[in-house]
Amino acid sequence: MAAQGGEREIQKSYWIEHSVDLTVLSLLPPFEGKSVLELGAGIGRFTGELAKKADQVLALDFIDSAIKKVESLVERMVKWLKVFKECHLRDGSGNSFELSLVGCKCIGAYVRNKKNQNQICWIWQKVSTEDDRGFQKFLDNVQYKFNGILRYERVFGQGFVSTGGMETTKEFVAKLDLKPGQKVLDVGCGIGGGDFYMAESFDVHVVGIDLSINMVSFALERAIGLNCSVEFEVADCTKKTYPDNSFDVIYSRDTILHIQDKPALFKSFYKWLKPGGKVLISDYCKSAEPPSLEFAAYIKQRGYDLHSVEAYGQMLRDAGFDEVVAKDRTDQFMKVLQMELNAVEKDKKEFIEDFSESPDICSYDLTGNVQFWLKILDKYPIYKVILLRACRVGIFFHPPDEGVYGAGRMALFK
């Protein structure tokens, strides 16, 4: 008992020190007056805070009696999931529901103190299957499918999905005069190449956010073993909020063309930056003249919001920024693109072989040919992480006698 008490005090002391900002609780949807089930309650570092607002809290931990309780819950959950599967069939009223990923993020305390990106919060919501998740679904299912991301990375360099890769990243980051201990927000972080570079080279803490679940899945996989202070989050920058004066630098590369209300976003940037803070943006623009019919159709089809370089700079000034420098870098990026194209042409045969064979894994039934998928997962290790982090929640709950989804899963992802 004394040993257990000592361990409890050690754990309590640690979490008091590192839980000044309750970042996990801040992610929860409103729970005032509701019943909350807390699994893995530990020493109760969240239980008390939950109890202050919730109607009632049931906290369970991994002790014998709790395990029996969890087993009972799981038994019922399996039954519920069978009903849940039925919900995917339209009833007489045509109603259908599923669990949709709202967001996920690294826990900042673990990243700051242990350089560990693998402690992650997931938020799921029961939604109608008619809800297509709008722009997020477009990004993950059209523009940034898994194979698409791998192709972009092959062209632009490891860790990057837009032109210029590491070369332009080093050039642009040098303009920020980063200092150890500063905090950087990367809006549209992609698969994290620029974030890892800033954290490792300048000892800064980087928060990378991206609306694409696929992008953040790749970024988290690439963070394994790097021991750098970078945290990632699936988030919509137009809805995300941070306290005023949170960041020394806001950095965004080739992303804000997707944002329709740029003035509102730039005003948020201004509030989030500390006094004297800097913002660096590279983005696609257009000439001040009306676009051709073909280009206008392309812009509409992609859902882009493009402006001239001058108009872009003025929006930043209108948001309150001083000393705005807006430069047209078309010539520079044309040269970079030509070099990237030359590299792809040189590697053309291998490029075609790799991306003609590699499938879009989430479009297939993995139970069809287990040996085939084992070979694919061996050849493309990133897919192991993608399956665990990005597939529908139902994949994790099939009984173990259902092939690769159950017992096979244990072999694939050990």
- Confidence (pLDDT) at 109: 73
What is the DSSP code (8-state) at residue 74?
A: H
Phi, psi of 56 (to 5 degrees): -155, 150
Within 8 A by CB and 6+ apart from 83, the residues are none
Residues of the chain falling short of pLDDT 70: 1-8, 10-23, 43, 62-103, 127-144, 357-414
Looking at residue 48, its amino acid is: G
The C-alpha atoms of residue 101 and residue 404 are separated, in whole angstroms, by 23
- Confidence (pLDDT) at 339: 93
- Confidence (pLDDT) at 21: 60
- Confidence (pLDDT) at 148: 81
- Confidence (pLDDT) at 272: 97
- Confidence (pLDDT) at 203: 96
Domains, the chain, ranges and CATH?
19-87 (no CATH), 134-341 (3.40.50.150), 359-412 (no CATH)
- What distance, in Å, lies between the first and last C-alpha atoms of the chain? 35
The C-alpha atoms of residue 138 and residue 143 are separated, in whole angstroms, by 7
Structure token pair of residue 65 = 């009696």
DSSP code string of 265-291: HHHHHHHHEEEEEEEEEE-----SSPP
Structure token pair of residue 331 = 């010539």
pLDDT in tens, 34-67: 888 877 777 677 877 888 888 888 877 766 665 5
Q: Position of tokens 């940034």? A: 144
The C-alpha atoms of residue 65 and residue 76 are separated, in whole angstroms, by 17
- Confidence (pLDDT) at 356: 73
pLDDT in tens, 192-239: 999 999 999 999 999 999 988 888 888 988 888 888 899 999 889 999
Q: Position of tokens 């040098």? A: 174
CA 290 to chain centre: 35
